Amino acid sequence: MASFSKKEIKKGLRKLNPKEKKGKRDHDIFIVEVHGKLLRTKLSLGSGDVGDNLISQIAKQILVSNSFFKEIIMCTKYGEDYEKEVEKMVYKYK
């Protein structure tokens, strides 16, 4: 089970050039536009690391696999790679 700090996850999400918003209370909201689609996810401002379950939920919300999102967080994948991956996922389900 891998866990990442919220700072690492934010850094990874920022590679996707999102619009960032403050949630109503205790979340940051990230909105990514890819191929005309707006994809939204949020991250709690609370303390503690983020485990596999939440990482998996975020990955699903931004249309990539769990392992691909972890690669974004670990700096082995970048925004360009993300756009290509989403394109593959979108066309896979058409």
Residue keyed to tokens 């996850």: 9
Neighbours of 12 (CB within 10 A): 22
Say how far apart CA 89 and CA 94 lie, in whole Å: 9
Instruction: Indicate the pTM of the whole model.
Output: 0.85
- What pLDDT, on the 0 to 100 scale, is given for residue 64? 92
DSSP string, 31-43: EEEETTEEEEEEE
- Could you count the other beta carbons within 10 Å of the beta carbon of residue 77? 20
Determine the Cα angle at 61 with ends 1 and 2, to 5°. Answer: 10
pLDDT, position 19: 93
Q: Give the Cα separation of 64 and 58 in Å (integer).
A: 9
Give the per-residue pLDDT at 3: 84
φ and ψ of 70, to 5 deg: -60, -35
Q: What does pLDDT average to in each consecutive run of 10 residues of the chain (94 residues)? A: 86 92 87 88 85 92 92 91 84 61
